[in-house]
Chains A and B, each alone.
Chain A
Amino acid sequence: MTTGSTSATTPEAVIRRAASLRDTLSRGFRDEAVRSLYAEASRIADRATVRDGARLDIDQRIDALVTSPILGLPIMALLLAIVFWLTVAGANVPSAMLAEGLFWIEGLGVRMFEAIGLPWWITGFVWNGVYRGLAWVVSVMLPPMAIFFPMFTILEDLGYLPRVAFNLDFLFRRAGAHGKQALSMAMGFGCNAAGVIATRVIDSPRERLVAILTNNFVPCNGRYPTLIMLATIFVGAAFPPAFASFAAAGAVMAVVLIGVGVTLVVSWALSRTILKGEASAFTLELPPYRRPGILRIIYTSLIDRTLFVLWRAMLTAAPAGAVIWILANVHVGGASIAQHTADALGPLGHAIGLDGAVLLAYIIAIPANEIVVPTLMMIYLGTGMMTDVTSFEDLRRVLVDENGWTMLTAVNLMLFSLLHNPCATTILTIYKETLSARWATIGALMPLGLAFIVTFLVATIWRLVA
């Protein structure tokens, strides 16, 4: 065909000509286009930039250390342990202060309502129900998040997190998952809803879904109180007082590592069943290390993450507080609805090594896992509102002596807490991220089913052996 200018003027003719010319293109014309773009870009860059060899050298030395085949993983575990320890240890005092302050306001509100002569049930519903639910979530959740998220953001800003993904990729590759799932998983330690959002860095849809559905298997801030309580009462108490806190911390770390293991196993199973596919391109840039920007860290960690997550949790905790109050204060035939429900759930609870009260606490705590322990105490003590037991000795007395908890109960509660369905906020986030009710449902029911199966197996085997 000659390049006659008169023949190809109608749109159809142009398209036809383009189609015929397409066949004559060399196979690699796309590669050629990219290559020439890069050639031009590097020509401009070479003319305009000066390379700092010393900077490069420092980066390379740090990289050689933190990704070293021998020291890389231990350094990572150590950093993780430090972040956990700081979060747990640092959050205790502010949590207690917040709780004291917020519950003082509750007392004030109750007295005010009583002074103007409102009936007891309005006072109870508003202050002991809705307000107490909110106060609890804020005081339990805010301090650890305000410590965890800034530390996490510092590591992120430094450029350390991509190195974590690099170190852990060999595990995720074998699980058929994306290496960047390590990043969203790390985020999940702060909050699973934030972890689900963090999966946006994964560009392959299949692997992103794997990351979303398994994020729940690392315990979040809301679940640490339960884990720490159990570790202190049941594991710590078995050691001499000097080692108790380390033993307890070790137990929490062990649960966390089990969670990482479950994440990998479930990712592996998903990639071979409902999310079948091959590992996609894993290409991860390891950016140069940077000095963290303080303002940016404060903004990202406090505004974007902490307050965002807290706000969502409060939205779900307020109605939960109301429901808990109603369940505990409406009496049918001499016992509260809560008591009746706990009795009805008893056999199921027993089958998985727990009891009806624990299951009820988990059903009520679907909106926010923080309120599991207070709700449990409320049911056990028969009070009409969420209750805190301040000392671990009292707690031990209530659980072991009065309600017959054993080591099996503790182990299974830890497992259940680790594996069960994500909180309502996370389920909602899964829905928003996938825009699919189906994946949100699977994201909620798959962990729940797994939790039941695992705890049932553990309970059955335990009872057979013991």
Chain B
Amino acid sequence: MRPLLLILAALAVVVALAWRHWTHRVVRERHRIEDALKHLFDQEYRGRHASLTSLKGTLHLPDGPVLALVARMQALDLVRARGQEFDLTPEGERLALQVVRAHRLLERYFADEARLPLSQVHAAAERHEHSLSAEAANRLAADLGHPTVDPHGDPIPSREGDVPPAVGVPATSWTPETTGRIVHLEDEPPISFAQIVAEGLRVGQTVRVIERTPTRVVLTDGENEYRFAPAVAANVFLAPAPAHTAAAGVVRLPDLPDHVLAEITGLDDRCQGFSRRRMMDLGFTDGARIEPILRTFAGDPRAYRIRGTVVAVRRDQAEHVIVRPLDTATRGLA
């Protein structure tokens, strides 16, 4: 009796382990396929073609497993091989778009609502993208207000699978001395993205290229200078700047002297999600009159009179408010 029980128990353990191993393998294979599809989509979007080598680099896998994975994807009719290169089938593209959409929506969520540092947003989205169903992605999109770009400036595919074409010119080919808005920061390879973020560049920022040599590219936002190797600067994409930030006579709120009345002309595009809603709730809207009235011992935060109330705001939030100081003649009207 006893040996029989023991054998049964051992058998149960083996079955349970095998089941776990098998389900784990199935899940892992699905994740790898999705990662591979994402890579293929990204290459096609940039007008390049994926190869075995590029797949190996992205998935961090040796030759054997990559070949097996590609064979499996061909069997599932997700991928077509054309010589050395691979293309997505319509079904493959549909799946790829789903994963890309989930990834970019999650990035938006982690950056705006969870306020994760920008350098960690990509990794966090990588961890969660495989478990976000298409329907959950739609709900997330609605909650976030149907965003169109992720925090790096990459377009988010719509639920119907439409992707706007890539915009922007790399900083390495941008005309020097003309103002441009950062529309996209390429997040691959992570090392150069980390450098860009650490230097303080953000999507939505207005900058100017002031120096372009074969060894370095220098950008400025008017206050700080950002120096990059051309290989890194090529990951910063610029587009013509919209009118209001380039307008004359405006300053950022922290630069407004105490007790000087000003009119808000807009909120910076870098301020999104939770922070933006909070500022709007408090009445930081175009045309509102604002006056800095209190400053603490550390100089930050400052308190401002706006719409009849006094609101304290930290410098990094106030940075996003663009104001036009009103001259003394118009002060009486306030």
A interface residues, Cβ below 8 angstroms from B: 16, 19, 22-23, 27, 30-31, 34-35, 38-39, 42, 45, 51, 60, 63-64, 67, 69-70, 72-73, 162, 165-167, 169-170, 173, 179, 204, 206, 276-287
Quick one: which of B146, B158, B296, B303 has the most chain A CB within 10 A? B296
Min CB gap A72→B, angstroms: 6
Q: Other than the known A35-B286, A173-B301, A206-B114, what 10 A-B pairs have Cβ atoms closer than 8 Å?
A: A34-B280, A60-B293, A70-B297, A166-B312, A179-B301, A276-B117, A280-B274, A283-B312, A284-B313, A286-B309
Contact with A along B316-332 (1 / 0, CB 8 A): 11000000000000000
Establish whether residues B316 and A279, one from each chain, have CB atoms under 8 Å apart when the complex forms.
yes
Establish whether residues A282 and B116, one from each chain, have CB atoms under 8 Å apart when the complex forms.
no
- Known contacts A19-B158, A179-B301, A286-B303, A35 near B285 by CB under 8 Å: yes
User: How many angstroms from the CA of A27 to the CA of B316 in the assembled complex?
Assistant: 23
- Chain A residues, Cβ within 8 Å of B145: 30
Answer yes or no: B279 CB below 8 A from chain A CBs: yes
- Known contacts A38-B283, A169-B301, A72 near B296 by CB under 8 Å: yes
Min CB gap A425→B, angstroms: 31
Determine the residue in chain A with the shortest Cβ distance to B118.
Answer: A278
- Known contacts A67-B296, A166-B296, A280-B275, A287 near B309 by CB under 8 Å: yes
Chain B residues numbered 12-29 whose CB sits less than 8 Å from any CB in chain A: none
Quick one: which of B117, B158, B310 has the most chain A CB within 10 A? B310
Answer yes or no: B62 CB below 8 A from chain A CBs: no
Contact partner, A31, options B158, B280, B317, Cβ 8 Å: B280
- Chain B residues, Cβ within 8 Å of A73: 297
Q: Is the interface of B mostly helix, strand, loop or mixed?
A: loop
- Chain B residues, Cβ within 8 Å of A284: 301, 311-313
- Chain B residues, Cβ within 8 Å of A282: 301, 312-314, 317
User: How many angstroms from the CA of A19 to the CA of B158 in the assembled complex?
Assistant: 9
- Chain B residues, Cβ within 8 Å of A167: 296-297
- Chain A residues, Cβ within 8 Å of B158: 19, 23
Chain B residues numbered 258-308 whose CB sits less than 8 Å from any CB in chain A: 267, 269, 274-275, 278-280, 282-283, 285-288, 293-298, 300-301, 303, 307-308
User: How many angstroms from the CA of A280 to the CA of B116 in the assembled complex?
Assistant: 10
- Chain A residues, Cβ within 8 Å of B310: 63, 285-287
Quick one: which of B114, B294, B303 has the most chain A CB within 10 A? B294
- Chain A residues, Cβ within 8 Å of B288: 38
Quick one: which of A45, A204, A287 has the most chain B CB within 10 A? A204
Min CB gap A363→B, angstroms: 38
Min CB gap B284→A, angstroms: 9
- Known contacts A19-B159, A39-B287, A285-B310, A69 near B301 by CB under 8 Å: no
- Chain A residues, Cβ within 8 Å of B114: 206, 277
- Chain B residues, Cβ within 8 Å of A277: 114-117
Determine the residue in chain A with the shortest Cβ distance to B146.
Answer: A22
- Chain B residues, Cβ within 8 Å of A179: 301, 312, 314
Answer yes or no: B160 CB below 8 A from chain A CBs: yes
- Chain A residues, Cβ within 8 Å of B274: 204, 280-281
Establish whether residues A63 and B115, one from each chain, have CB atoms under 8 Å apart when the complex forms.
no
Min CB gap A39→B, angstroms: 7
Chain A to chain B contacts (Cβ below 8 Å), 30 pairs: A19-B158, A19-B159, A22-B146, A27-B269, A31-B285, A31-B286, A34-B280, A35-B287, A38-B283, A38-B288, A64-B294, A67-B294, A67-B303, A69-B295, A72-B296, A165-B312, A169-B296, A170-B296, A206-B114, A277-B114, A277-B115, A278-B115, A279-B316, A281-B279, A282-B317, A283-B313, A283-B317, A285-B309, A286-B310, A286-B311
Min CB gap A71→B, angstroms: 9
Answer yes or no: B175 CB below 8 A from chain A CBs: no
Contact partner, B311, options A35, A69, A283, Cβ 8 Å: A283
- Chain A residues, Cβ within 8 Å of B173: none
- Chain B residues, Cβ within 8 Å of A16: 160
Establish whether residues A63 and B314, one from each chain, have CB atoms under 8 Å apart when the complex forms.
no
User: How many angstroms from the CA of A155 to the CA of B308 in the assembled complex?
Assistant: 23
- Chain A residues, Cβ within 8 Å of B279: 281, 283
Determine the residue in chain A with the shortest Cβ distance to B289.
Answer: A42
Determine the residue in chain A with the shortest Cβ distance to B318.
Answer: A283
Min CB gap B147→A, angstroms: 11
Establish whether residues A69 and B296, one from each chain, have CB atoms under 8 Å apart when the complex forms.
yes
Determine the residue in chain B with the shortest Cβ distance to A286.
Answer: B310
Determine the residue in chain A with the shortest Cβ distance to B310.
Answer: A286
- Chain B residues, Cβ within 8 Å of A63: 293-294, 303, 310
Min CB gap A334→B, angstroms: 47
Answer yes or no: B120 CB below 8 A from chain A CBs: yes
User: How many angstroms from the CA of A42 to the CA of B317 in the assembled complex?
Assistant: 24
Establish whether residues B312 and A42, one from each chain, have CB atoms under 8 Å apart when the complex forms.
no
Contact partner, B297, options A35, A42, A69, A281, Cβ 8 Å: A69
Question: Range of interface residues on chain B?
Answer: 35 or more
User: How many angstroms from the CA of A313 to the CA of B298 in the assembled complex?
Assistant: 40
Contact partner, B300, options A173, A278, A280, A286, Cβ 8 Å: A173
- Chain A residues, Cβ within 8 Å of B307: 38, 42
- Chain A residues, Cβ within 8 Å of B267: 31
- Chain B residues, Cβ within 8 Å of A279: 115, 314, 316
Contact with A along B150-194 (1 / 0, CB 8 A): 000000001110000000000000000000000000000000000
Establish whether residues A170 and B297, one from each chain, have CB atoms under 8 Å apart when the complex forms.
yes
- Chain B residues, Cβ within 8 Å of A169: 296, 300-301, 312, 314
Determine the residue in chain A with the shortest Cβ distance to B244.
Answer: A28
Determine the residue in chain A with the shortest Cβ distance to B313.
Answer: A283
Min CB gap B318→A, angstroms: 10
- Chain A residues, Cβ within 8 Å of B278: 281, 283
- Known contacts A31-B267, A281-B278, A283-B282, A276 near B311 by CB under 8 Å: no
- Chain A residues, Cβ within 8 Å of B297: 69-70, 72-73, 167, 170
Determine the residue in chain B with the shortest Cβ distance to A35.
Answer: B285
Min CB gap A283→B, angstroms: 5
Establish whether residues A34 and B285, one from each chain, have CB atoms under 8 Å apart when the complex forms.
yes
Determine the residue in chain B with the shortest Cβ distance to A64.
Answer: B294
- Chain B residues, Cβ within 8 Å of A27: 269
Determine the residue in chain B with the shortest Cβ distance to A49.
Answer: B308
Min CB gap B320→A, angstroms: 10
Min CB gap A322→B, angstroms: 44
Min CB gap A53→B, angstroms: 12
Min CB gap B152→A, angstroms: 17
Min CB gap B155→A, angstroms: 11
User: How many angstroms from the CA of A204 to the CA of B295 in the assembled complex?
Assistant: 24
User: How many angstroms from the CA of A284 to the CA of B285 in the assembled complex?
Assistant: 17
Contact with A along B184-210 (1 / 0, CB 8 A): 000000000000000000000000000
- Known contacts A22-B146, A34-B280, A166 near B159 by CB under 8 Å: no
Min CB gap B150→A, angstroms: 15
User: How many angstroms from the CA of A42 to the CA of B286 in the assembled complex?
Assistant: 13
Determine the residue in chain B with the shortest Cβ distance to A33.
Answer: B280
Establish whether residues B275 and A166, one from each chain, have CB atoms under 8 Å apart when the complex forms.
no
- Chain A residues, Cβ within 8 Å of B301: 166, 169-170, 173, 179, 282, 284
Determine the residue in chain A with the shortest Cβ distance to B303.
Answer: A286
